[in-house]
Structure 1
Amino acid sequence: MDEVTEFPKFSILSPWPTVINRHVASGHENYAAEITGLAEQAVDGDVFALDHPAVNWLRKTIDARIKAYFDTATKATGCSWRVEGRLITRGMNEFQAMNNRPGSYLTGVFCVNAPARKAGLKLRNDSDTNTLTLVDPRLGMNMIGISGDPYTVQIWKIPAEPGLMTMWPGYINHWMTPNQSDEPFVLVRFDVLIGEGDDKEEGHTTWNRLAVLAPDAPAAKKPDEGLQKIWPTLFVKRHLDDCEDWNSQLAVLINDMEKQNPDLTTNSWLENFFDRQEAPVAWLRDRVTETVAGYLEEFVDFDFQWRIECWPNINHTGDYHAPHMHGWCYLSGTYYLELPPADPGGDDADVPSGAINFADPRPGINIVSVDGDPYSKPQFFMRPEVGTMLLWPSSLMHNVYPNLAKENRITISFNVVVNGPLPC
């Protein structure tokens, strides 16, 4: 008989949890057609300003969940709130970019329907359709994550289903994956604004939505030279000269690798790409190594041993990378090998096809944001040119938006791993 280890009894405390309300609304099927009809009419503005039976039902349903939230999750008493909502219809490959909701105490979505993925799409096994994705707000908590530990996962996925209402704190970064169906995905996005008491002179309740005032605020001035920037987030952006021939050779090699292993991108941990001996791999390895060495020489006043772990990525049409950070390493980067043209909308689109996006690592800094202030934007995205190498701190949460072009998007990513302990 195996010896059984007896562990000591202990209590677990869980301060500062992130409370999410997930609820399938009873009777939603009775109003789905009417709400969809409003969506087809392209109703704009606050949907809850409408006096419509389906809207009134949805407003009461959301109000009931908000009340339950205050009664059970917060124990707060005497809170007043108002709900603003927007009716959204997403077509094939349309998605919501990652963001948070400045000025909103709670935010949420109500799924009117949940279209099934179109048959025959060639997508990676980590590409989900119409899935709400919430990002862990605990700064740095995921840098050392262990498989199977539910408390260190970087993102929380909630697939759409008809009548599902999900509500969460407004400061949480989140995004909705693309609609991979020919059928439109209809949803209502809403914000819960908390009352701050009665304004005696104006005779109305002042709502905690400072972001609404932003368009009337003066444009932010450029920082004075006397200001000191502490804890900046450093990026390296380098273009490799004479890369065209090397890029072509690397693309042929990576495409051949995917033919042998269709899960090449999602099984990147199986092989260190820089261990290969082909000439184009050696060329890129040398360029990455000298870039990392230059960064450490410039910014780090300590000599330590490090190594580079590397893997290729192929994003077919509709593929994306969900929000994540790179644990167990110091720096991360990507080299851009093949980039299809932005589609649709070109490079001037709100979120260009295949753009990489970074989330502000300063928790809560964006909750009161002002238009024109370059330092309060919750997200920063770019679409680098072919031949560009980026390098950034591994703890930075980032994602890659869907490739909407017909051509593949090929990149090579890498981590800078510390071989020995760093000084405290």
Structure 2
Amino acid sequence: MSRSLFVTPLYESDLNAAVPLDQLAHSIRTLAEDDAAGRRWCREHGYKGYTSYASLDDLPRRDPVFAALARTLARNAATFARELAWDVKPRLDSLWVNLLRCGGHHSAHIHPHSILSGTLYVEVPTGSGPIRFEDPRLPMMMAAPTRLPDAPEPLRSFVTIQPTAGTLLFWESWLRHEVLPGSGRAERLSVSFNFA
């Protein structure tokens, strides 16, 4: 008999009814037009689209739709912290928007100096790139055999999730993840965040 040790939880919720996705989409597109510093950073770093990650750090104070979203995210972060049996109340540290165009992606990364990270998907057109999570034990598996293609999700080296509009995902910030390139023509809109 075996038992699971050192699980890696992924929190998932559908916020379609809880947040005004159309208002968030409008705000993201407005920021993409108005934020010259953000557009410049995206050009300099070869980002296919727009992100406010390096340019705007006050979205909840700047726009009421992001202030309301921040409150919703805080409630979900508190729920996830309880599920993780943490003796801490996570605090929103940063929040940024992403407008990803065809072929755009985010290479594998973690979020240092945070405890929880996540993304709310605002618009996910057909062909949008999915998010992929990596088994944190992978670097230690020097001689591990290849897993069967139909291995149960907890035993896979990578788990890929194709979100839909309204999907909220939270994970512990040390969990390595990436956004794979998409083939769709329309823009994929999301809001990402960190809690400390």
Partner SS for 1:269? coil
Deviations 1:56-78 (A, max 9, x none): xxxxxxxxxxxxxxxxxxxxxxx
Q: Counterpart of 2:160 in structure 1: which amino acid?
A: F
Deviations 1:307-356 (A, max 9, x none): 331000010112111111111111100000001112xxxxxxxxxx4100
Counterparts of 1:367 and 1:376, CA distance in 2: 12
Counterparts of 1:266 and 1:280, CA distance in 2: 17
The equivalent residue for 2:24 is 250
Greater RCO (Cα-Cα under 8 Å, separation 6 or more): 2
The equivalent residue for 1:179 is none
Whether 2:141 is the aligned partner of 1:367: answer: no
Match for residue 320 of structure 1 among 87, 91, 105 = 105
Partner SS for 1:249? helix
Kept after mapping to 2: 8 A contact 1:273/1:312: no
Counterparts of 1:289 and 1:304, CA distance in 2: 9
Q: Counterpart of 1:373 in structure 2: which amino acid?
A: A
Q: 1:239 deviation in Å? A: 0.4
Kept after mapping to 2: 8 A contact 1:369/1:376: no
Whether 2:192 is the aligned partner of 1:413: answer: yes
Q: 1:268 deviation in Å? A: 0.9
How many residues align? The count is 181
Whether 2:140 is the aligned partner of 1:379: answer: no
Q: 1:387 deviation in Å? A: 0.3
Q: Counterpart of 1:370 in structure 2: which amino acid?
A: R
Q: 1:367 deviation in Å? A: 3.0
Counterparts of 1:399 and 1:270, CA distance in 2: 21
Q: 1:369 deviation in Å? A: 2.5
TM-score in terms of structure 1 length: 0.40
Match for residue 84 of structure 2 among 275, 288, 299 = 299
Kept after mapping to 1: 8 A contact 2:92/2:193: no
State the Cα RMSD in Å. 2.2
Whether 2:119 is the aligned partner of 1:334: answer: yes
TM-score in terms of structure 2 length: 0.82
Kept after mapping to 2: 8 A contact 1:274/1:285: no
Kept after mapping to 2: 8 A contact 1:239/1:389: yes
Pairs within 5 Å for 1:6-405 = 227-243=2-18, 246-261=20-35, 262=39, 263=41, 265-266=50-51, 268-303=53-88, 306-342=91-127, 353-362=128-137, 363-365=139-141, 367-371=144-148, 372-374=150-152, 375-405=154-184
Q: 1:271 deviation in Å? A: 2.1
Q: Counterpart of 2:183 in structure 1: which amino acid?
A: L
Counterparts of 1:358 and 1:384, CA distance in 2: 13
Kept after mapping to 2: 8 A contact 1:369/1:377: no
> Which structure is larger by alpha-carbon Rg, 1 or 2?
1
Counterparts of 1:395 and 1:378, CA distance in 2: 16
Counterparts of 1:305 and 1:389, CA distance in 2: 16
Q: Would the alpha carbon gap of residues 276 and 304 (structure 1) be closer, same or farther in structure 2, given more than 3 Å must change? A: closer
Counterparts of 1:267 and 1:257, CA distance in 2: 8
Q: 1:373 deviation in Å? A: 3.3
Partner SS for 1:268? coil
Counterparts of 2:85 and 2:166, CA distance in 1: 26
